[in-house]
Amino acid sequence: MIEVISGELELRPLLTIIVQKACELLGAQRGSIGLVDEERDLVRIEAAYNMPPEELGSVARRGQGLAGAVYATASPVMLGRYGDVAAPILKGLDDDVVVGMPIKWRGKVIGTFGIGSGPPRRFGREDLETLELFARHAAIAINNARSYEREKRRALRLRAANVIAESALERNPARIVAIAETTVLTALDLRCRVLKKSEAAPEGALLFPLRAEVGEYDRLAVLDPETTTAEDRQALAALASQIGLALERASLFAELQRQLDEISLLYETSRRVSTAIDLKSVVGAYLAYVAACDRFRCDIGLIETDDNGEECLSIIGRWSPSYGVSFEPARYTAGEIGVNVSLREFSLIRTADAHSDPDVPDGVRRILAQAGGAALAAFPLIVQGERIGVIVLTHVEPHEWTEQEIRPYRTTGALLASVIKNRLDHRRLVKKDQHLAALAERRRLARELHDSVSQLIFSMTLIAQSIGAGFRKSPEEGEARVARLLDIAQLARAEMKALLLELKDPEGEEAASLAAVARREGLAAALARHRRIAAPAGVDIALALDGADRLKPAQAETCLRVAQEAIANAARHGGADRIEIALIEEKGESVFAVDDNGRGIDPGGAPDSSSSTRIGLAGMQARAVEAGGRFAARDSRLGGLRVEVRFPLQ
């Protein structure tokens, strides 16, 4: 019998076996077992044998009925009539002979036996001793079952925490909330809701703060507070914090995705408009890629001077949902627009309904009425602080503009303005027979894009692919990888925005790229920043730069770009995990070298010799020559490839 009791770990089946075996052992007709609920100071009947149906699940407070008497005295109770017990609970059993025995564990009452029989059965001291011995073994079995139950609940809570943590990868707050509510119900058997900050809590609900610093949700409401234990409340507080963290991570992912989308938009727009040959092609490429993704009419206008010397806005291209891209010309003077200041200075308009907005000039209303528009939003095209034109969005009906709708035009406006200015300058150069110089400038721009942004995007791709694995390893590792990805994203964005500004004003405050750092703070600072933020994962990069302060700014930038390309090639194509970057003085020259332990390049053009790697080497050589140096590539002492650039000492 003891083996049967000890072998069962589920609490309810175990108690049922115990009460049945106890009755059989003592020849009793009926019995029940209650477990003590210390928090509520009562005994709850958890198992019954041959008892009235209402007995199972009933409660006896201290001193009430047989179970309550045993709980109150912590001692055996034996009565010739059940009806003689204080405050009897069961009806129809008053003549039963009953015996109650406390079930103790380490001196504390954890449960009660209640056993009885009708006349003429009588219980004696021997029965009492037998039941006491039985209670000792029953206490061990109950404790084991409770330990098993605690471990089972702990495992469920741990799994719930993991499920909620992994839900951050959903990147959708509503989906995270649904997972959290289902998970809490499964793990703790409690109904709950995750509440928004603006949402009133249900009456009587038990509330736990999410401690989330972002997003629209802030509380976990438990709808069954009366059934929660102290252990449940502790677990709920921890799970609420986990839900808050998951929602914060989802917000972080959303912000990261926004930045990635912005960088992608900048990069793709740059690629498309930079390869367009003339102004019309630039505007057409921009409209076809940026404006065509939306539902608003988009006009691009340049501020020019007409034949009469009057300032005017010349529309050079437009996109509409009905007709797509068109280049039908239109020109509006300042007087026709209704402004009495320079078009380069007047405040640009954003309004949900130009026809009812008193601040909109009459001329603008007339132009909109002719075009069939109502809502209006204008953005400046600015180059080096000078407004050269505008992007104008219109909608046929009144419309409240959102940040999400206008962000693509804000993001790409500076790029479009720079490229338009570049093409206008190019047009002037062509007129002055400087066509070759303009082509060289375009090639330089393309190379700058490749050397600065492409390497960073490659690093971002590698890290982005590892985020899921990072969170599976640990929340801290996942968050560290996300933080690093954000750093690279911000650097890539700065590189994209600073690039065209640097071409015009290399020392301007807006120049936040690595090239600008190399020119202002030196090669060592730029390479240290690149290693810290954008180095490929798993690649050890050592720097030993003696005499870097003796390099000219252009030489420092050349060394930086050569290092970026060499690092990317070594990691991407060479499989290197060790790279050494050094600057030394040798035979009257400054020698800048990058060594790696990768596969190197087969002179015969073996498969390991990637074509993109060879193109990269050609670009390095061109940079070195333009900066007044010499370039070489050969086998490295580390076993891979060595590239070096030599400059005459200052």
* Domain range list for the chain: 2-152, 171-253, 276-420, 440-648
Q: Give the tokens for residue 640.
A: 């891979």
Q: pLDDT band for 503, please (50, 70, 90 cuts).
A: low
Q: What is the pLDDT of residue 582?
A: 94
Which H or E run contains 273? helix 230-274
| DSSP bridge pairs for 589 | 586, 648
Q: Return the pLDDT at 43.
A: 93
In the chain, % of residues over pLDDT 90: 19
Strands 42-49 and 30-37: antiparallel
**What's the whole-number mean pLDDT along residues 30-56?**
90
- Average pLDDT for 213-223: 80
- Cβ atoms of 222 and 192 within 8 Å: the answer is yes
Q: What are the φ and ψ backbone dihedral angles of 625, each rounded to 5 degrees?
A: -65, -45
Grade residue 597 by pLDDT with cuts at 50, 70 and 90: very high
Among 85-89, 256-260, 385-389, 634-638, top mean pLDDT goes to 634-638
354-365 tens-digit pLDDT: 899 998 888 888
pLDDT at residue 9 tops 90: no
Q: Is the pLDDT of residue 196 over 60?
A: yes
> What pLDDT was estimated at residue 413?
81
pLDDT of residue 276: 79
Buried b (16+ CB within 10 A) or exposed e, 602-635: eeeeeeeeeeebeebbebbbebbeebebebebee
Q: What is the CA radius of gyration of the chain?
A: 40
More reliable by pLDDT, 635 or 277? 635
If pLDDT is split at 50, 70 and 90, which confidence band does 609 have? very low
Higher-pLDDT residue of 501 and 123 is 123
What is the Cα–Cα distance from 208 to 235, expressed in whole angstroms? 11
Among 55-69, 203-217, 238-252, 460-474, the range with the most confident prediction by mean pLDDT is 55-69
**pLDDT score, position 644:** 95
pLDDT band at 635 (very low <50, low <70, confident <90, very high): very high
- Using the predicted structure, report yes or no on whether residue 449 has a pLDDT greater than 80: no
Between 500 and 494, the more confident residue is 494
Is the pLDDT score of 437 beyond 60? no
Take residue 185 and report the two structure tokens written for it: 């119900």
Strands 297-305 and 108-117: unpaired
Q: What percent of the chain has pLDDT over 70?
A: 88
pLDDT of residue 294: 66
378-390 pLDDT, tens digit per residue, is 888 888 888 889 9
CA 134, chain centre distance (Å): 58
509 has pLDDT over 50: no
Average of pLDDT values for 112-134? 88
Q: Which amino acid is at 296?
A: F
Is residue 431 exposed (0-12), middle (13-18) or buried (19+ Cβ within 10 Å)? exposed
For residue 595, name the pLDDT band (cuts at 50, 70, 90).
very high
Q: What is the mean pLDDT of residues 131-157?
A: 82
The Cα–Cα gap between 644 and 562 comes to 9
Give pLDDT, residue 441: 59
What letters, b where the CB count within 10 A reaches 16 and e where it falls short, cover 347-385?
A: eebebbbbeebeebbebbbebbeeeebbbbbbbbbbbee
List the beta strands (DSSP E) in 122-223: 192-196, 206-209, 217-222
Q: In the predicted model, is pLDDT for residue 593 greater than 60? A: yes
What mean pLDDT is reported for the chain? Answer: 82
- For the cut 90, the answer to whether the pLDDT of residue 491 exceeds it is no
Q: Give the H or E element holding residue 16.
A: helix 11-26
Please tell me whether residue 333 adopts helix, strand or coil conformation: strand
Say yes or no: domain 276-420 is CATH 3.40.50.720: no
CA dihedral 135, 137, 140, 145 (to 10 degrees): -90
Burial of 224 (0-12, 13-18, 19+ CB in 10 A): middle
How does DSSP classify residue 384? T
- 2-152 and 440-648, same CATH topology: no
Tokens standing for residue 488: 């690279």
For the domain with range 2-152, which CATH number is right: 3.40.50.10320, 3.30.450.40, 3.40.50.300, 3.40.50.720?
Answer: 3.30.450.40
Fill in the amino acid letter for 387.
Answer: R
Which pLDDT score, from 0 to 100, does residue 450 have? 57
DSSP string, 350-375: EES-TTT-TTS-HHHHHHHHHHT--E
**How far is CA 73 from each of CA 19, 62, 66, 69, 339, rounded to the nearest angstrom?**
21, 9, 11, 6, 96
Q: What is the pLDDT of residues 376-420, one digit of tens each?
A: 998 888 888 888 899 899 998 999 988 878 888 877 888 888 888
Q: Where do we find the tokens 């469920």?
A: 156
* pLDDT score at 116: 92
Annotation: CATH topology of 171-253: Beta-Lactamase (3.30.450)
CA–CA dist 515, 351 (Å, integer): 40
CATH of domain 440-648: 3.30.565.10
Note the residue count of the chain. Answer: 650
What does pTM read for this prediction? 0.42
CA 301 – CA 51 distance, rounded (Å): 91
Q: Which helix H or strand E contains 59, and what residues bound it?
A: strand 59-61
> Band of the pLDDT at 612, cuts 50, 70, 90?
low
Between 292-306, 327-341, 458-472, the lowest mean confidence (pLDDT) is in 458-472
Q: Which residue has the higher pLDDT, 370 or 511?
A: 370
Query: Residue 446, Cβ neighbours under 10 Å: how many?
Result: 14
